Structure 1
Amino acid sequence: MSVLLAYLSTLSVALYTLVALVAFAANSVLCRMALSVQQTTPLIDPSSFTAIRLTAGALVLWLLMSLRTRRLHTNTSDVNTSDVNKSAANKTKAAISVSHGSFLAAGLLFIYAVTFSYAYVLLDTATGALILFAAVQMSMMLMSYIQGQRLTLLEVIGASLAFAGFGYLVLPGVSAPSIIGLILMALSGCAWGGYTLLGKQSRKPLFDTGYNFIRTLPLVAAMIGVVWLLPLFSVVEPMNHLILSPAGILLAVLSGGLASGVGYALWYQALRGLTATHAAVLQLTVPVIAAFGGVLFLDEVISIHLSISASIIFLGIGLVILAKPKSITINKLT
C-alpha cells in the first residue's frame, strides 16, 4: 500500500510539474506576442501588460480560493455537532483564516513580472530566454548551496549538459544584448529563482500563490501612478508609454489569469516534491516546450537543430533526476 501511495505521489508531482512548465512556455509566447518590438506598434506597453497580468492572476486565484473555502465550509456544516466535529470545524476555519504567502514572495513576484516585461521590449526572444534561464538556474543553485545543499558529480554533469543543450538551442538567434535589457532580465531571473525557492515551503499552494498575487496589487498601483506621472516631469517620452489595444489586453489577461495565476499555483504544488536543483534544471525545458508549441499551433517545422537541443537537455535532466542527492543540509529556508 505504501509503495502504491509513493508511486501516486511521484506521479502527481510529475503531472503538476509538466502542466506548470507548459504554462510557463505559454506565458512566454503570450508575452512576446503582446510586447514584440518587431511589430509596427506593440499591442500593449510593458507597464500596462504587467498591471493587467498581475491583476488578472489575483482575480482568478481569488475566485478559486473562494470556491475552495466555500467547499470547506460546506463540508464542515454537513457534519454532526459533536464536540469532536466542532473541534474539527474550528480547526478548518482557523486554517482558512490563516494568512498565506508572504510580502517577500509578493515583492519577488512583482520584480520578476515588471522587469520581465520591460526587458523583452529591449531583447529578442532567444537572447532574453538565455539570460533569464541562466539567471534562474545560477541563482537557485547558488542560494541552495548557501542553504547547505551539495550537488553530486552526476548532478553537476547533468545540469551542465542541460544548460549546454539550452545554450545550443538559443545561441544561433542571440544578438548583442542591450545592457539595460540584460540587467533587467537577469534581475527578473534572480527574482523568479528566489520566488521558486520560497515556494518549497508552501503547504497550501493555491492560497499562498493567491495571496502573493493579491499583495502585488499595491505595487501595481504605484507602478501605474509613476508611469502616468513620468511624462509630466520629463521632456523625453517614456518608452512605449501607455499603449493599449483589445488584443494586447486579452493577451495580458490570458497570461495573468491562466499561464501565470493557475500555472504558478501548480508550480508551488509541484515544488513540494522537487529539490531546488531539479526545479532549476527542469525550467530549462520551457523554451523547448515553447518551440514544440510552435510546431503544434503555428505550423512550424521540427528542425534538426531543435531535435538535437531537446535531446541534450532531456539527457541532462535525466542525469540530474537519476542522481542521488547528498544528504548534507546546513540550513533550511526560513
Structure 2
Amino acid sequence: MRLIFLTALTMCAFAANSLLTRAAVEGGHLSPAAFAIVRVASGALILAILVAVRGGTLPLLHKSRLTGAVSLTAYVAGFSLAYLTLDAGLGALILFGVTQITMFAHSALTGQTPTSRQLSGAVAAFGGLVLVLWPSGGNVTDPVGAALMVLAGIGWAAYSIAGRTATDPLAATGANFLLCLPLLIAVLLLGGIGLDGDTWGITFAVISGGLMSGLGYALWYNVLRQMQGTTAAVVQLSVPIIAIAAGALMLGETVQPVVIVAAALVVGGIGWAVTAKR
C-alpha cells in the first residue's frame, strides 16, 4: 500500500509540472524564460541539498555532464515556451509520446531488434501523435507550441538515454540541473525573451522546480528500487492522463475528442510495447 501511494504521488508530481507551467506562463504570471530559470535553479538547490545531506557531492566533471546539461536545456526551454499556447494535458501527451518513441527508435537503431508487438505498439503511439499534431478543421493544436514540445520530448529522451549509466542518479541529476542553468540563461536571454512576472508566477516556478522536480525525482528514484522495470514504464503512462484530467478540472481546459482518441492511441500503444517480453 505504501509503494502504491508513493508511486501515485510521484506521478501526480510529474503531471503537476505541466499544470504549474501552463498556469504561470499562459496566465501571464511569469514569462517562459523566467519560469524555466527559476524552475531549474530551485531544482538544482533542492537536489544539491539532498545530495549533501547524504554526504555526497555533485559530479560536475563527469564525461556525461555536457550531454546531460545540453539535453536538459532543450527540454526545459521547449517545455516552458510551448505552454504559452498548448493546454497542460495536450502538452504532456506530446512530450510523453515523443520521449517514448524517441527512446524506442534509439534502442532499435543501436542493435536492440524490436519484436512485432513492440513495433505495433510504437506505430499506434506514433499514429496518436500524428493525429493530434496534424493540421485539420477539428484540430486546434498550435504548430509552434507543438514543435517546441516535440523539441522538449527529444531533449528529455536524450537526457534519459544519457542517464541510464549513472551510478548515482540523484547526484547526476543535481549536477545536470546546476550546469544547465547558465546554458538556459544564455539561450533564453540571448533570444530576447523577457523575465517579467509576479509573485504568483515565481511561486509556481519554485514549486515546480524544488518540489515537483527536485523532490519528485528523489522520490521516484526511491520508488524505482522497489519495482520491476516494466512496471515502472507502465505506471508512467498515467502522467499524461492525469495532466489531461487535471487541466480540465483545475484550469478549465476543454478536452477535444481528438485529444482523447490520441491519448488512447499513445498510451495504449506504448503500454502494449513496454509490456512485451523482450
Using the alignment, how far apart are the partners of 1:107 and 1:292 within structure 2?
32
Q: Is the 8 A contact 2:39 2:208 kept in 1?
A: yes
Alignment of 1:119-198 (within 5 A): 119-125=82-88, 128-161=91-124, 174-178=139-143, 180-198=144-162
1:55 aligns with 2:8: no
1:77 equivalent in structure 2: none
Identity of aligned residues (%): 37
Q: In 2 relative to 1, CA 107–205 (structure 1 residues): closer, same or farther, beyond 3 Å? A: same
Out of 243, 246, 252, the residue aligned to residue 290 of structure 1 is 243
Out of 216, 227, 230, the residue aligned to residue 180 of structure 2 is 216
* Max Rg structure: 1
Q: Aligned AA for 2:15?
A: A
Q: In 2 relative to 1, CA 273–224 (structure 1 residues): closer, same or farther, beyond 3 Å? A: same
Using the alignment, how far apart are the partners of 1:115 and 1:305 within structure 2?
23
Alpha-carbon offset, residue 105 of structure 1: 0.6
Q: Is the 8 A contact 1:110 1:219 kept in 2?
A: yes
Secondary structure of 2:78 counterpart: helix
Secondary structure of 1:106 counterpart: helix
Q: Aligned AA for 1:287?
A: P
Out of 62, 72, 92, the residue aligned to residue 109 of structure 1 is 72
Q: In 2 relative to 1, CA 283–302 (structure 1 residues): closer, same or farther, beyond 3 Å? A: same
Secondary structure of 2:167 counterpart: coil
Q: Is the 8 A contact 1:169 1:305 kept in 2?
A: yes
Using the alignment, how far apart are the partners of 2:203 and 2:85 within structure 1?
22
Using the alignment, how far apart are the partners of 1:58 and 1:116 within structure 2?
17
1:76 equivalent in structure 2: none
**Paired residues, number:** 271
Alpha-carbon offset, residue 131 of structure 1: 3.7
Q: Is the 8 A contact 2:79 2:149 kept in 1?
A: yes
Q: In 2 relative to 1, CA 164–210 (structure 1 residues): closer, same or farther, beyond 3 Å? A: same
TM-score of the superposed pair, with normalisation by structure 2: 0.76
1:33 equivalent in structure 2: 23
Alpha-carbon offset, residue 181 of structure 1: 3.0
Using the alignment, how far apart are the partners of 2:147 and 2:174 within structure 1?
28
Q: Is the 8 A contact 1:119 1:185 kept in 2?
A: yes
2:29 equivalent in structure 1: 43
1:200 aligns with 2:200: no
Q: Aligned AA for 1:200?
A: R
CA RMSD of aligned residues (A): 4.0
Extract unaligned runs of 5+ from structure 2: none
